[in-house]
Structure 1
Amino acid sequence: MRIALVSLAAVAAAAVATPAIANEVRVEARGGVIWDGSDSDAVAGVAAGYDYDLGDKLFIGVQGSADKVLASDTRVSWGVGGRIGAKVLPGTKLYGVAGWQSKFCRYCNSAVGVGGGVQQDVGQRYYVKAEYQHLLVGDHTPDADVGLVGVGVKF
């Protein structure tokens, strides 16, 4: 988790050094719940991404993340993915998300996640968000679901 925080801090420092543009770099802390048919556990993590405007109403973005299930015998899961969405109101983004993430534990499988979310600006630089993903695990392992809420800063 320390490596993830240092990496995201480096991305944030680089973003601060760049001039302001319509597109945005974002860094966030997030937490939530992961569940499957029989268990549920808390999740905490960080993410960094870049959104590119496709006109006034649409955007596309990329994201990297580091999340940890807060249970024994788990490890940080690294993720990479993207999102596409619409600016539905001033300061409000509605989006679909897809990505891949590494294993949460030694004997788990990596997963592909699909879902959606909403992001709401709070002032000029800050935002809050809520996101849901269905994780397609495969290899006869039950799929899982993740609900996340986050708070972030835009550069």
Structure 2
Amino acid sequence: MRIALVSLAAVAAVAAASPALANETRIEARTGVIWNGSDSEAVAGGAIGYDYDIGDKLFVGVEGSADKVLASDTRVSWGVGGRAGVKLTPATKLYAASTWQSKFTKYGNSAVGVGGGIQQDLGNKFYGKAEYKHLIVGDNTPDADVGLVGVGMKF
């Protein structure tokens, strides 16, 4: 939990001190797989975020998400986090991300996710992305990994 709060505070501080360039709001739908050492399940969800440009090549962003493991006895995991990265081209973003997520099951634990991804523009308003997160769960609960692909719209 502390890692997520420190990450969010750092992203907010950098974003507040940054001059505005081509900042963008984004909303996306995503799907993928969550796995731990013993099994895997499909996951689906969505996210909404805002990216702040820092110069021509760098950016930081904040994000809220809702994801659901597509298995019985699971619930929506709500997340909040941030990302920071570099624009490889005007249409391609490579980033590192950190999130805090509520628990997926009634008896599970919340988690801190760390990972990264790549986002590619598909025209002026749409994008596709691929992302990986390692979920650090704690309390003797096995960590998990999530691989996601998504499509979204920028405003």
Normalised-by-shorter TM-score class = 0.7 to 0.9
2:52 alignment partner in structure 1: 52
1:77 alignment partner in structure 2: 77
Distance (whole Å) between structure 2 residues aligned to residue 53 and residue 152 of structure 1: 19
| Cα displacement string for residues 5-48 of structure 1 (whole angstroms, at most 9, x for unaligned residues) | xxxxxxxxxxxxxxxx7100000000000000001000000100
| SS of corresponding position for 1:106 | coil
2:143 alignment partner in structure 1: 143
Distance (whole Å) between structure 2 residues aligned to residue 47 and residue 27 of structure 1: 6
1:68 alignment partner in structure 2: 68
Give the Å deviation of 1:135: 0.2
Runs of 4+ residues over 6 Å off in structure 1: none
2:119 alignment partner in structure 1: 119
Count of paired positions? 135
RMSD: 0.7
TM-score under structure 1 normalisation? Answer: 0.86
Distance (whole Å) between structure 2 residues aligned to residue 90 and residue 110 of structure 1: 36
| Cα displacement string for residues 65-115 of structure 1 (whole angstroms, at most 9, x for unaligned residues) | 000000000000000000000001120000000010000000000000000
Distance (whole Å) between structure 1 residues aligned to residue 58 and residue 70 of structure 2: 35
1:106 alignment partner in structure 2: 106
- Residue identity matched to 1:152: G
Distance (whole Å) between structure 2 residues aligned to residue 22 and residue 119 of structure 1: 16
| Cα displacement string for residues 99-143 of structure 1 (whole angstroms, at most 9, x for unaligned residues) | 100000000000000000000000000000000000000000000
2:96 alignment partner in structure 1: 96
| SS of corresponding position for 2:107 | coil
Unaligned runs of 5+ in 2: 1-20
TM-score under structure 2 normalisation? Answer: 0.86
- Residue identity matched to 2:121: D
Distance (whole Å) between structure 2 residues aligned to residue 96 and residue 90 of structure 1: 18
Distance (whole Å) between structure 1 residues aligned to residue 100 and residue 90 of structure 2: 30
Unaligned runs of 5+ in 1: 1-20
1:129 alignment partner in structure 2: 129
Give the Å deviation of 1:59: 0.1
- Give the % identical residues: 76
